[in-house]
C-alpha cells in the first residue's frame, strides 16, 4: 500500500509574509511529490508567505521520506523555513491549520466498492482523530484521495470539533478540466473563461455545467453556450470528456494525473484562503446545506465564492431540466456511497 495523508498548517493572514507557518503533505505518492515544490514556491499561499512543510508517510517509507526532505532542502526555496518528515501522525498534525489529505486506499482489480470504502473508512477515522486532537482549532481540510467526497464525509464524522465548513474535497481539478476544454474549443486563453460549475461527486457521475459560464471574445464577454453555438457538443461530448478525463490520462500516461491534481489543490486552497476574484466562482466539494435541493449530510460540489477564509455557495442560479436530472443523479450516487461507508463503520 502506497500510503498516505497530508497535512498543511498554520498561517495568519494578519501577519502575512512575516511569520513562519506550517504545512504537511504526502511525500511518495505522485500528487504529494508534485505538490511539495508548488507549496514551497508560494503557489498555494502567495509569493511572500513563509512555510514549514510537514510530511507524513508509513514506517516502511521512512528512508524515502527522508530523501524527499533532502531534496526540499537542496532546492533552497526562499519561502521554505523548515521541513518535518515523520511517520508519527501526531507530530505531522501538530498545530496545523491546513490539512491536504492526498492519500488513501486505491481500488485494485477485483475489489468491490465496499472494500475500497472499508479501507478508507479506517484510514480517515484515524486521521480525523489526530487532526481533531492536535491540529489548530481553525484547521482547514482538503481531501484529495478518492473517493474524495465520501472520505471527507468520514473525516467530518470523526472530527466533530472541526467546523463542517472547514472540511472540503477537491473538485477544482474537474473545474479546471472544464475550463481547459472550453478554452481549447474556442481557441482562447483559459483565463478568459470563467464560472463553469462542477456539481456533485468527484466521479464519472459529476456534472460539468456551462450554463452560467462566460468567455471573453473579440466581441466582448458572452455566454459559453452562445460562443460555442453547438448544444449537442456541450450536452454530450464536453460532459463525458470532463467526467472521464482522469481515466483518459491514465490510459495515455500509464499513471494518474498527479501534476494537474497538485496544481488544482493549490488553486483550491489559495482561493479559499486569499479569496476568489470578484464576479468569479469556483467549484468545491462542501457539506451540503440543502442548497439547490441537494440532500443535507453529504459532501457535494457546488459553485462557491470565497472571502476572508470562508466559502459561500452561490445561490439563485437557474437550473434547467437536464441539469436537474444530472445533479440529482450524482447526489444519488453520493447517498449510496454514504450508506455503504456507514455500513463499513458498523462492521468496523
What are the residue numbers of the active site?
Answer: 202
Nearest-angstrom CA–CA distance, 28 and 177? 25
Phi-psi region of 347 (alpha: psi -120 to 50; beta: other; left: phi over 0): alpha
Q: How many Å is the Cα radius of gyration of the chain?
A: 20
Phi-psi region of 309 (alpha: psi -120 to 50; beta: other; left: phi over 0): left
Q: Is 145 annotated as ligand-binding?
A: yes
- H helix intervals, the chain: 30-40, 62-74, 89-93, 113-134, 148-157, 172-186, 224-228, 231-235, 237-243, 245-253, 258-274, 321-347
Q: Is 146 annotated as ligand-binding?
A: yes
Q: Is 187 annotated as ligand-binding?
A: no
Q: Is 219 annotated as ligand-binding?
A: no
Q: Which cell numbers in the block locate residue 310? A: 470562508
Nearest-angstrom CA–CA distance, 25 and 7? 5
Using CA atoms, how far residue 231 sits from 200, 207, 224, 328, in Å, is 22, 15, 10, 21
Q: Is 57 annotated as ligand-binding?
A: yes
User: Residue 101's closest CA among 38, 46, 44, 29?
Assistant: 29
Nearest-angstrom CA–CA distance, 126 and 130? 6
Question: Does a cis peptide bond (omega within 30 degrees of 0) precede residue 147?
Answer: yes
Q: Which residues participate in the annotated binding site?
A: 57, 107, 113, 120, 144-146, 177
Q: Which residues participate in the annotated binding site for substrate?
A: 107, 113, 146, 177
Q: Which residues participate in the annotated binding site for NAD(+)?
A: 57, 120, 144-146
Amino acid at each position: 500500500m502506497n500510503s498516505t495523508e497530508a497535512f498543511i498548517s498554520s498561517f495568519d493572514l494578519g501577519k502575512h509574509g512575516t511569520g513562519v507557518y506550517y504545512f504537511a503533505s504526502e511525500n511518495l505518492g505522485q500528487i504529494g511529490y508534485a505538490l511539495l515544490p508548488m507549496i514551497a514556491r508560494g503557489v498555494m499561499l502567495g509569493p511572500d508567505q513563509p512555510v514549514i512543510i510537514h510530511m507524513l508517510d508509513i514506517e516502511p517509507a521512512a528512508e524515502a521520506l527522508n530523501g524527499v526532505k533532502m531534496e526540499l532542502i537542496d532546492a533552497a526555496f526562499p519561502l521554505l523555513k523548515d521541513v518535518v518528515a515523520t511517520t508519527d501522525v501526531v507530530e505531522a498534525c501538530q498545530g496545523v491549520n491546513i490539512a491536504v489529505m492526498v492519500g488513501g486506499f486505491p481500488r485494485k482489480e477485483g475489489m468491490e466498492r465496499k472494500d475500497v470504502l472499508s479501507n478508507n473508512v479506517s484510514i480517515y477515522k484515524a486521521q480525523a482523530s489526530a487532526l481533531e486532537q492536535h491540529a489548530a482549532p481553525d484547521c482547514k481540510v482538503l481531501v484529495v484521495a478518492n473517493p474524495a467526497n465520501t472520505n471527507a464525509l468520514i473525516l467530518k464524522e470523526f472530527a466533530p470539533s472541526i467546523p463542517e465548513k472547514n472540511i472540503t474535497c477537491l473538485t477544482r481539478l474537474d473545474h479546471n478540466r472544464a475550463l481547459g476544454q472550453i478554452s481549447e474549443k474556442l481557441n482562447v486563453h483559459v483565463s478568459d473563461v470563467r464560472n463553469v460549475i462542477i456539481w456533485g461527486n468527484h466521479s464519472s457521475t459529476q456534472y460539468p455545467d456551462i450554463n452560467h459560464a462566460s468567455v471573453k471574445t473579440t466581441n466582448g464577454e458572452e455566454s459559453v453556450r452562445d460562443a460555442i453555438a453547438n448544444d449537442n457538443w456541450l450536452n454530450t461530448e464536453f460532459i463525458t470528456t470532463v467526467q472521464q478525463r482522469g481515466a483518459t490520462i491514465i490510459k495515455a500516461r500509464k499513471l494518474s494525473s498527479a501534476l494537474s491534481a497538485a496544481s488544482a489543490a493549490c488553486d483550491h486552497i489559495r482561493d479559499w484562503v486569499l479569496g476568489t476574484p470578484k464576479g468569479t466562482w469556483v467549484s468545491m466539494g462542501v457539506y451540503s446545506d440543502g442548497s439547490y435541493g441537494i440532500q443535507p449530510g453529504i459532501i457535494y460540489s457546488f459553485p462557491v465564492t470565497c472571502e476572508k477564509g470562508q466559502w459561500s455557495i452561490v445561490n439563485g442560479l437557474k437550473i434547467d431540466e437536464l441539469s436537474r436530472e444530472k445533479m440529482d443523479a450524482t447526489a444519488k450516487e453520493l447517498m449510496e456511497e454514504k450508506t455503504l461507508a456507514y455500513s463499513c463503520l458498523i462492521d468496523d
